[in-house]
């Protein structure tokens, strides 16, 4: 018997191997095997039986799994992805399976009694999971001598039967001596246990029941349910303004599917930023929920993965990689905030989980709901061309009004963090004991340092960007490669003292607000303040508990959160996104401003929003401030049509990078010539732009060039790229990657 095996290397082909006599039963799709590969032994995945009989057939050395890691149905999905993204099937499989699974080498092999190799042991689970001492009460009554802290700790453990060390330390401070004493007296026992660091666990969830849907919600729900009943692939765009009750619809549709023994996959842009959404699922459902988040160790991720495979978890919530979760009987896929660019992976297999959700839905005949208040122009266009069904929620629940929004023109005025209008609104809101949010899509204190004597600007030596000053660390940091230097007191170039910090980030806004309102509770949420686990929760909780009056933050605060107490939102600058050299910059700005202003007035009180900008006449900002998606859509569509961008074309980018600027340039140029020749020879209707230096010409010491391909049809684009891949030979110091449907054009 011969099987096809995919070996995870950047090679297109798969390989044939002979199955040892008597092992035929084990040689099924989805089993990992050890195979001789050249001089090495590698792990490979069995794809299936083959009739091929090559001359020199090597034998499989070892079977690594008792149960398949993927099914033939999964394989169909992987194969589709491999073809679409022009990526080796083996590497697609590797990306799809939970990390930590692929172990090459033999040292971890454990043979069980019946002679087979066991997966569990093969996968070294203990490597990354953490343990913690747990103290348990014993039955001996306490001797009378015990008092003070030791007694308090004992009482606490007694009350709870057991406690982990972190909790004890949190309550009683460092208590090593006391715990040792209690152990010596045999009043407690200790045991090291593996702990499950799930930031979503142990949070109290109030059970909650389905809400009575309003008319618009009900209409949308009915349409989705009817489609679900049909058992056919049914894609929907659920387009509803912020706070219109989209999540409530997801919950009820999923409940409907679960009742019918189906499962659900819920994708969210970034799981750490959506504790509230996870909480709502936990409150609503008693069936198993698997939450795949980045805080999981490899072992925990694998555990969750097996829970899903064993159908113990019927709902899977996760970020983009959850699209590969091994769900069976898939009924519903939800892509929340479908417009988010984080659904796109930006290295390795550059897949887009939003797009793949539609592919998966089609393969599994599932209902797919793309939800957003600000859907992609391409999505709405597809809906209006009958590729998906558009469902609209035009009103907020309970008829809460959309916030009154004003654009504040900063042109020709003295540059200040807060315009007088926004400042006044903040003061009044504080006085009224209401909460405010200030948004700026840039972290740090100042964007760059410049010397007014010699004109020197502090740049990252590895990347073509300026270094951002972070006051708390007192360092200038590169946001691309983390390179940093201590803040200089004189100009590093001319030793002059006329150095100035220009541009602003959230840290500077926070400093200013604290200076203006020393009495107010001020908090900041950005990447710098959320490094620690649980810090998101803390910041959100403090806002919910009204300890925070003013929250300052980056786009982290723009997403999904529901803060009923917030009545004022100020956008410090709407221009950071608008000015990016990317054809999607208007769309991004519209989304960001719409999402941020959606945070205002979600409670009983109406909200108010101020947007500071140098571009008050920009259609995207005007449309966002008027909550007019249609206005934005129609104009954006025209601009895309004129420039030939999606939805009027399909895009692919080819990226070249090298530590040598010359090699990158020459490589890209050679590639450009080849592409043009192939295009002519094959008579393909593809527009080839470049090569040109990427907007970010250098990142992490690598110089970057790119070629952009456009075509109204997908086929010629693919044909050109396939031929290019097969014929392109570049020097070893130039890296090439192909990005199908690129999202980040920088
Ligand atoms: P979206 O996902 O569109 O932002 P949500 O589903 O989060 O909207 O709804 C906003 C708020 O309104 C939530 O607090 C939610 O519990 C509540 N809500 C949603 N639907 C209803 C309803 N039919 N009746 C009452 N409250 C609702
Ligand atoms: Zn850098």
397 lines ligand 1 (CB under 6 A): yes
Q: What is residue 444's predicted lDDT score, i.e. its pLDDT? A: 93
* 735 DSSP β-pair partners: 657
Task: Give mean pLDDT, residues 94-122.
Answer: 51
Q: Which two tokens stand for residue 174?
A: 């460092």
pTM of the model: 0.84
Q: Which two tokens stand for residue 682?
A: 């094959």
Pocket test for ligand 1, best of 247, 373, 544 (most atoms within 8 A of CB): 247
Task: Give mean pLDDT, residues 666-675.
Answer: 96
214 lines ligand 1 (CB under 6 A): yes
Name which of 372, 393, 435 is nearest 563 in CA terms. Answer: 435
CA angle 664, 656, 682 (to 5 degrees): 110
- Say how far apart CA 724 and CA 731 lie, in whole Å: 15
248 lines ligand 1 (CB under 6 A): yes
Q: What is residue 204's predicted lDDT score, i.e. its pLDDT? A: 59
321 lines ligand 1 (CB under 6 A): no
DSSP 8-state class, residue 72: H
Is residue 525's pLDDT more than 90? yes
Name which of 400, 421, 423 is nearest 600 in CA terms. Answer: 400
DSSP string, 126-175: GGT-EEEEEEEE-SSPPPTT--HHHHHHHHHHHHHSEEEHHHHHHHHS--
Is residue 108's pLDDT more than 50? no
284 CA to middle of ligand 1, Å? 13
Is residue 128's pLDDT more than 90? no
148 CA to middle of ligand 2, Å? 54
For residues 340 and 162, which has the higher predicted lDDT (pLDDT)? 340
Interhelix angle 246-259/215-230, nearest 10 degrees:
30
Pocket test for ligand 1, best of 397, 559, 566 (most atoms within 8 A of CB): 397
Interhelix angle 377-384/629-643, nearest 10 degrees:
90
In which residue are the tokens 């859907």 written? 375
Is residue 113's pLDDT more than 50? no
In which residue are the tokens 């609104």 written? 425
Task: Based on DSSP, count helices (H) and strands (E) in the chain, helices before strands.
Answer: 21, 30
Is residue 130's pLDDT more than 60? no
Residue 439 contacts residue 568 (beta carbons within 8 Å) = no
Q: What is residue 119's predicted lDDT score, i.e. its pLDDT? A: 39
DSSP 8-state class, residue 441: S
Buried b (16+ CB within 10 A) or exposed e, 82-103: bebbbbbbbbbbbbbbbebbbb
Could you tell me the CA-to-CA distances from 725 to 462, 674, 720 in Å, in that order?
29, 10, 9
Q: Which two tokens stand for residue 735?
A: 């890296």
700 CA to middle of ligand 2, Å? 6
Name which of 95, 38, 97 is nearest 64 in CA terms. Answer: 97
Ligand 1 atom nearest to 393, measured from its CA: 3
592: number of Cβ within 10 Å? 22
The strand order across the sheet containing 566-571 reads 404-409, 608-613, 566-571, 435-439, 550-553, 522-525
Q: How confident is residue 316, by pLDDT bands cut at 50, 70 and 90?
A: very high
230 CA to middle of ligand 1, Å? 27
In which residue are the tokens 């896929």 written? 333
Q: How confident is residue 597, by pLDDT bands cut at 50, 70 and 90?
A: confident
CA angle 577, 581, 582 (to 5 degrees): 80
468 CA to middle of ligand 2, Å? 10
For residues 284 and 599, which has the higher predicted lDDT (pLDDT)? 284
- Say how far apart CA 109 and CA 97 lie, in whole Å: 20
Query: Residue of the nearest CA to atom 20 in ligand 1?
Result: 245
Ligand 1 atom nearest to 212, measured from its CA: 23
Q: What is residue 270's predicted lDDT score, i.e. its pLDDT? A: 81
Looking at all shown ligands, the one closest to residue 463's CA atom is 2
DSSP 8-state class, residue 352: B
* Highest-scoring range by mean pLDDT, 46-55, 123-132, 357-366: 357-366
76 lines ligand 1 (CB under 6 A): no
Looking at all shown ligands, the one closest to residue 458's CA atom is 2
Q: How confident is residue 541, by pLDDT bands cut at 50, 70 and 90?
A: confident
Judged by DSSP in three states, 699 sits in strand
243 lines ligand 1 (CB under 6 A): yes
Judged by DSSP in three states, 271 sits in helix
Is residue 160's pLDDT more than 70? yes
- Say how far apart CA 109 and CA 36 lie, in whole Å: 16
Q: What is residue 523's predicted lDDT score, i.e. its pLDDT? A: 95
Looking at all shown ligands, the one closest to residue 599's CA atom is 1
Residue 235 contacts residue 368 (beta carbons within 8 Å) = yes
């Amino acid at each position: 018997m011969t099987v096809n095996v995919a070996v995870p290397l950047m090679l297109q082909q798969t390989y044939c191997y002979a199955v040892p006599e008597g092992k035929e039963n084990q040689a099924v799709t989805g089993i990992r095997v050890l195979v001789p590969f050249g001089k090495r032994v590698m792990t490979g995945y069995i794809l299936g039986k083959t009739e091929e009989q090559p001359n020199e057939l090597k034998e499989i050395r070892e079977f690594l799994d008792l149960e398949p890691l993927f099914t033939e149905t999964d394989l169909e999905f992987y194969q589709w992805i491999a073809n679409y993204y022009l990526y080796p099937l083996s590497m697609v499989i590797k990306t799809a399976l939970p990390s930590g699974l692929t172990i090459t080498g033999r040292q971890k092999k454990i043979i069980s009694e019946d002679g087979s190799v066991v997966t569990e042991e093969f996968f070294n689970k203990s490597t990354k999971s953490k343990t913690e001492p747990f103290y348990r009460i014993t039955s001996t009554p306490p001797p009378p001598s015990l008092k003070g802290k030791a007694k308090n700790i004992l009482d606490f453990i007694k009350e709870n039967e057991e406690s982990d060390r972190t909790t004890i330390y949190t309550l009683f401070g460092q208590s090593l001596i006391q715990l040792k004493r209690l152990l010596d007296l045999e009043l407690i026992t200790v045991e090291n246990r593996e702990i499950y660091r799930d930031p979503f666990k142990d949070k109290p969830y109030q059970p909650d029941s389905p809400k009575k849907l309003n008319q618009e919600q009900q209409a949308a729900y009915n349409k989705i349910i009817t489609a679900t009943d049909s058992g056919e692939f049914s894609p929907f765009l659920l387009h509803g303004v912020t706070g219109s009750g989209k999540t409530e619809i997801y919950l009820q549709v999923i409940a409907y599917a679960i009742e019918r023994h189906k499962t659900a996959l819920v994708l969210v842009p970034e799981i750490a930023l959506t504790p509230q959404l996870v909480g709502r699922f936990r409150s609503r459902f008693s069936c198993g929920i698997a939450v795949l988040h980045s805080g999981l160790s490899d072992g925990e991720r694998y555990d969750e993965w097996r829970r899903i495979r064993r159908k113990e978890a019927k709902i899977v919530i996760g970020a983009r990689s959850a699209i590969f979760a091994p769900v069976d009987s898939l009924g519903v896929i939800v892509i929340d905030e479908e417009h988010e660019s984080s659904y796109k992976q930006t290295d390795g297999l550059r897949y887009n989980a939003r797009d793949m959700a539609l592919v998966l839905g089609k393969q599994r005949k599932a209902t797919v709901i793309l939800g957003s208040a600000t859907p992609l122009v391409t999505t709405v266009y597809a809906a209006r061309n009958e590729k998906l069904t558009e469902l609209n929620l035009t009103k907020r629940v309970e008829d809460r009004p959309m916030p009154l929004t004003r654009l504040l023109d900063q042109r020709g005025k003295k540059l200040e963090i807060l315009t007088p209008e926004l400042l006044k609104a903040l003061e009044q809101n504080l006085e009224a004991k209401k909460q405010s949010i200030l948004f700026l899509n840039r972290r740090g204190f100042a964007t760059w340092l410049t010397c007014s004597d010699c004109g020197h600007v502090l740049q990252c030596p590895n990347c073509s960007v300026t270094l951002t000053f972070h006051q708390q660390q007192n360092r200038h940091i590169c946001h691309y490669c983390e390179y940093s230097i201590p803040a200089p007191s004189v100009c590093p170039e001319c030793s002059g003292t006329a150095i100035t910090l220009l541009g602003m980030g959230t840290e500077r806004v926070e400093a200013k607000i604290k200076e203006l309102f020393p009495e107010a509770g001020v908090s900041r949420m950005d990447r710098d303040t959320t490094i620690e686990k649980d810090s998101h929760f803390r910041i959100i909780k403090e806002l919910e508990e009204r300890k925070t009056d003013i929250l300052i933050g980056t786009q982290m605060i723009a997403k999904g959160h529901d803060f009923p107490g917030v009545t004022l939102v100020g956008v410090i600058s709407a221009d950071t996104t608008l000015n990016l050299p990317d054809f999607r910059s208007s769309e991004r700005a519209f989304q960001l401003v719409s999402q941020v202003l959606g945070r205002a007035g979600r409670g009983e009180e109406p909200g108010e929003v101020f947007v500071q900008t140098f571009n008050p006449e920009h259609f995207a900002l005007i449309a966002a401030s008027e909550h007019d998606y249609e206005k934005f859509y129609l104009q954006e569509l025209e601009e895309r049509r004129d420039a030939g961008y999606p939805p009027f074309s399909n895009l692919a980018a080819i990226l070249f990078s090298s530590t040598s600027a010359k090699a990158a340039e020459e490589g890209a140029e050679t590639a450009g010539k080849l592409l043009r020749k192939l295009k002519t020879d094959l008579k393909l209707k593809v527009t080839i732009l470049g090569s040109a230096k990427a907007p970010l010409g250098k990142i992490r010491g690598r110089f970057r060039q790119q070629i952009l391909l456009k075509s109204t049809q997908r086929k010629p684009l693919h044909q050109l790229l396939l031929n290019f891949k097969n014929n392109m030979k570049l020097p070893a110091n130039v890296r090439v990657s192909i990005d199908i449907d690129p999202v980040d054009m920088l």
